[in-house]
Amino acid sequence: MYTNRKGMTFGVIFGAILMTMLPFLNGLNFKSRFANSVLGVVMGSPLGLCVNCSTPVAHGLYAAGARPETMLAAMVSSPTLNVIVLTMLFAMFPSWLAFLKIGTTAAFILIGIPLLTRWLNPPLASEQISNKTDLISHTVEQKLTDALCVESEDLCREADSKEGWPQAIRWLTINFTRNLWYLIKITVPLMILAGVLGAAMATLVPLDKLATLLPDGRLMSLVSMALLAIIGLLLPSPMTFDVILTAVLYNAGLPVKYVAVLLFTLGVFSVYPFMTLWRRMSRSIAIGMFVTLTLLGMAAGVLGNRYHSWDLGRQEELVLRPFTRGAAPLELPRVDRLKQGTPAETLLPQLQTAALHAESLGETGGLQTSRILFNSPRATGATDKPLMRRYDQKEFGISEHENYSLLKLDYRYSVSRGIASGDVNRDGWTDFVVTSDVGLAVYLNQQGTTFTQQRSEVPILNDLLIANAALVDLNNDGWLDLWFSSLRRGNYVIYNQEGRFTQEKLTQIPNQPDAVLTNAPAFGDLDRDGKLDIVLGNVSPTGKNEAGIVYNSTHNSWLRQGPTGFELQPLPGMNGESLTTLLTDINQDGMLDLLVGNDMITPDMIYLGDGHGQLRLLTKADGLIPATTNFTMSISSADLDNDLIPEILFGSVSNRDRSGQVGAARRLTPAEICAELTEPGAHSRCEQFYNFRQIAGHAMSPGDIWECRNLPTSPERDACVAFKIVQTATVESRNEKTCDQLPNGWDYLSFLCHSHFAPSKAITNSEMYQAIPQRSRVNVLLKQNAGHVFEEKTQQFGLTESGFTWNAKFADLDNDGWQDLFVVNGWVRRVRTESNHFYRNVSGQRFEDATEQYGLESNLNTLSYTYLDLDNDGDLDIIVVPTVGPLSVYVNQTPRRQSIAFELHDERGNYYGIGSKIIINYGKDQHQMRELQAGGGYLSFDGPIAYFGLADAQAVRSVTVQWSTGETTVLDREFKSGARYVIKRARS
């Protein structure tokens, strides 16, 4: 109903215009039925209306005297042969499938319609009108005529023979109104009925599950094709819906024979034109068209299946077999190994000579306090330069490889490159760790001017895809340990040995038996026993859970750290592709709660904690959370308006695709994407990779394997063919045996291929009904009201759309006292590209896009970043990690404002106070709050230091610490700005 309302309005009005004007256009009917059909195509295809909307237009032609062939051809060609649909066909399907759709449609219009009208001989409109029996409608029409013709009806009939504008306008008004009423009375009631029937069918027919429900046997396939053709012909399809829906089903694995049926039948006809033809032209024509279109739809399915099978055999013979029968196994294309770095025994003593030492300030409120003064800022005060200055990684001594791996075309490799910051060697300078396809690298900070890579002492790291890493103190010894997750090889922690990570301190962490990768960990003390627990947000290798099917490998759990180690505790709720998890106190009861963000169909899971290790899953019936997002990539919580109550942001795929919108997604060439890279080698490698992505991506979905031959090097061609084998097995043929065509050297892609057929389970309708609702293609910002219930305030704060969002976290970058938001965007497998975005917090009321002003634009597809004060000057800098390409370092050079930072050392709870809240009071009744978190965002962890911007305030009057173990301490003394304060709580 809703989708057809505007189109139907246009169709009825335009049909009335045609009925009024067509009698003046003599000679538009031909003796040849074929010529009349061609005329209908010429009239209908430029309109570009859906079949429901083109029906009143076509009926207007018919009522005005057009031949039945012209009417039917115009009605069918408008939704199927217009330029928009034709363009989308060739963009979203292989050319042969597009030609099959066009050919069958043209055959029906130019051959089928003339034959049907010849055999069934439908009456002309004049014959229908002369035999009209609708007395009620006729009476209404007569009253309408009497109202319009102030004089007698004879005078009205004479109006068309009189000259002059008044008579012409009167005649036009009378006849247009008559015709409009005529079309309304015969089409609108049927449109309403068709809308109800169509909505019922759309609800009852599980289109999203067709790929898994339809059979593959020959006889059952024919029956299924017939049923699918009938469904496709009856469903009222909006414009281009046939192409879009079929493309989605095609990419979700619906066999080609069923794709071809739906591609032809959806949109070409529906229950509405069927009923209109039944009542207003001929029952035999309505039935004849429906039967003919059903048979043609089945024929399209058979022809499509035959050609597809032949084409796959041709590709296998000419491309796949030479690829798979080499004498030696093909080697997997890998990125270069990480550089070795500097040995710890050499590097650590050097760094200690420049350590930042804390000055003791004595005891306050039973707590020891000390401070480290900030360095002089780099800011120049110039207002004509960006407030964040971008440096290439080499300018900071970072030699991390650029990750131009051909495996980035795989989903899991394309979304796995994380970063974490923290003081590894306790010299007062913030260091960082970055992950990659071939291990991870630890970079130690040298006085804020450069970073030096520390040599790895753990050989296992060199052979693993490390998706995520975090620097957290898991054994409460005051040293940040290195936790990391690997693809297919489990999760580990390397306990910090006074700044070194060695093989002897490597320990594997438990996970679910079927788990393949933990993509989203979070850390916090759920049972308040003083030790950090770990939440494990798991994902599958495929990253898919469409059609309500989720893999067993995606079941989540949490690890309770007890006296003897970690104990695995399964989490209640649905399985899902968990991309982000966050432990935070959402209901202000002092106990950590858990938020789990899932991609695609699985709703987000939100749990309330009781402080004893019990987690209760919230449902829609609880009424606490109105909605989250459909493609949740990042969850962040922060106090955005300084009322000491945090807001929650669910970051999602919220595309900025509208024309002319600032930062809108665009199609960029490889040269345009890589233009911002200044180092020549990085620029050329970047272009080479994106060219590979462009060609191989087209070959995979839904292209032709012959595209692979256009790649310049043998490894690229081999990788392209290998990915096509995976695509063929998992999407096009849905045959696991096809996976066996991959050669022995391609272990990961073979594993990936077979993973699509791994054990899975279906999400039930009951589970979906009870879950918290999801919003699609937007972000969701939640704010608590006076009744402690969350309300959606996304639009009010101006954060509805931020792009293809990955990491999105809040921090006060300009030190004005309000927390801002930086969002990194883009997916390397996506055709459209958009910039990262920076949103400045305007006094806690709204956010404004200040990306250009802050110099944070970048079109490189980016997943993760970390906030850190790398130069210890009191403002936060950023290290950004693109999917492919060198890291970027953004140094904050905003005009000087006051700031202050706090770090907790807790000997009663977890050492760095994760889960604790720090509240400052300053100025005239001003206050701010920070919660120390180790989670949220996407593949991104920040160090356990709370930074506060103070604008012009020179000091803080008091500080309140709400400890992770439940106690509260107030430090009622002045803390001057310009320093980082360390607050230590002793064991007794």
Q: How do beta strands 898-906 and 979-985 pair?
A: parallel
Q: Work out the pLDDT band at 21, boundaries 50, 70, 90.
A: low
Tell me the backbone φ, ψ of residue 559, rounded to 5 degrees.
-110, 115
Decide which of 312, 337, 359 is a domain's last residue. Answer: 312
Where is pLDDT greater, at 300 or 134? 300
Cα 456 → chain centroid: 35
Q: Is the pLDDT of residue 474 over 70?
A: yes
Backbone φ/ψ region at 171: left (φ over 0), alpha (ψ -120 to 50), beta? alpha
Q: Is the pLDDT of residue 26 over 70?
A: no
Does 633 fall in a domain? yes
Does 659 fall in a domain? yes
Q: What is the pLDDT of residue 653?
A: 92
Residue 282 and residue 424 in one domain = no
Tell me the backbone φ, ψ of residue 50, rounded to 5 degrees.
-65, 165
Q: How do beta strands 832-833 and 803-811 pair?
A: unpaired
* Structure token pair of residue 42: 């010429």
Residue 783 and residue 925 in one domain = yes
Does 599 fall in a domain? yes
Q: Which tens digit of pLDDT belongs to each residue from 75-86?
A: 898 888 877 788
Residue 809 and residue 926 in one domain = yes
Report d(CA 541, CA 415) in Å as an integer: 11
Decide which of 296, 312, 328 is a domain's last residue. Answer: 312
Percentage of residues in the chain having pLDDT higher than 70 = 82
- What CATH number corresponds to the domain at position 434? 2.130.10.10
Does 199 fall in a domain? yes
Q: Is the pLDDT of residue 850 over 90?
A: yes
Q: How do beta strands 940-941 and 419-422 pair?
A: parallel
The set of residues, in sequence order, having a beta carbon less than 8 Å from that of 525 and lying 6+ positions away, is 531, 532, 533, 592, 909, 910, 914, 915, 964, 965
Residue 571 and residue 428 in one domain = yes
Q: What is the pLDDT of residue 398?
A: 92
Question: Domain containing 37: what range?
Answer: 2-312
Report d(CA 389, CA 889) in Å as an integer: 8
Residue 469 and residue 607 in one domain = yes
Report d(CA 706, CA 87) in Å as an integer: 22
Tell me the backbone φ, ψ of residue 726, rounded to 5 degrees.
-60, -45
Mean pLDDT of 753-761: 89
Q: What is the pLDDT of residue 705?
A: 74
Q: Is the pLDDT of residue 828 over 70?
A: yes
Residue 169 and residue 276 in one domain = yes
* Number of domains into which the chain is organized: 2
Q: What is the pLDDT of residue 213?
A: 54
**Among 820, 815, 873, which Cα is nearest to 850's?**
820
**Among 661, 543, 657, which Cα is nearest to 602's?**
543
Look up residue 167 and give its DSSP letter. H
- CB crowding 167-193: b at 16 or more within 10 Å, else e: eeebbeebbbbbbbbbbbebbeebbee
Q: Is the pLDDT of residue 381 over 80?
A: no
Does 578 fall in a domain? yes
Q: Is the pLDDT of residue 57 over 50?
A: yes
Q: What is the pLDDT of residue 6?
A: 47
Give the Å distances, CA to CA, from 350 to 401, 422, 445, 499, 753: 25, 19, 11, 12, 48
**Among 538, 509, 618, 529, which Cα is nearest to 573's?**
618
Report d(CA 258, CA 311) in Å as an integer: 17
Overall size of the chain counted in residues:
988
Q: Which of 74-83, 181-190, 848-857, 878-887 is predicted least confidently?
A: 181-190
Q: Is the pLDDT of residue 706 over 90?
A: no
The set of residues, in sequence order, having a beta carbon less than 8 Å from that of 988 and lying 6+ positions away, is none
Report d(CA 333, CA 721) in Å as an integer: 13
Q: Which of 179-188, 629-638, 761-770, 944-953 is predicted least confidently?
A: 179-188
Q: What is the pLDDT of residue 163?
A: 57
Residue 418 and residue 565 in one domain = yes
Q: Work out the pLDDT band at 663, boundaries 50, 70, 90.
A: low
Q: What is the pLDDT of residue 9?
A: 57
Q: What is the pLDDT of residue 240?
A: 72
* Structure token pair of residue 15: 């049909």
DSSP letters for 881-907? EESSS--EEEEE-PPP-EEEEEEEEES
What average pLDDT does the chain have?
84
The set of residues, in sequence order, having a beta carbon less than 8 Å from that of 25 and lying 6+ positions away, is none
Tell me the backbone φ, ψ of residue 662, rounded to 5 degrees.
-60, 130
Q: Which tens digit of pLDDT belongs to each residue from 113-123?
A: 999 989 988 87
Residue 284 and residue 395 in one domain = no
> 3-class DSSP state for residue 63?
helix
Residue 783 and residue 908 in one domain = yes
Does 881 fall in a domain? yes
Does 718 fall in a domain? no
Residue 262 and residue 115 in one domain = yes
- Give yes or no for a contact between 266 and 249, defined as CB atoms under 8 angstroms apart: no
Q: Is the pLDDT of residue 956 over 50?
A: yes
Does 955 fall in a domain? yes
Q: Work out the pLDDT band at 148, boundaries 50, 70, 90.
A: very low
The set of residues, in sequence order, having a beta carbon less than 8 Å from that of 818 and lying 6+ positions away, is 640, 642, 812, 841, 842, 843, 844, 949
Q: Which tens digit of pLDDT belongs to each residue from 191-215?
A: 555 455 545 545 555 555 554 555 5
Residue 225 and residue 363 in one domain = no
For 506-523, give the secondary structure using H, E and C. Answer: EEEECCCCCCCEEEEEEE
Q: Which tens digit of pLDDT belongs to each residue from 214-252?
A: 555 555 678 888 988 998 888 877 767 778 778 877 776
* Structure token pair of residue 345: 């025994």
- Give yes or no for a contact between 176 and 20, defined as CB atoms under 8 angstroms apart: yes
Q: Is the pLDDT of residue 136 over 80?
A: no
Q: Work out the pLDDT band at 460, boundaries 50, 70, 90.
A: confident
Residue 286 and residue 425 in one domain = no
Percentage of residues in the chain having pLDDT higher than 90 = 52
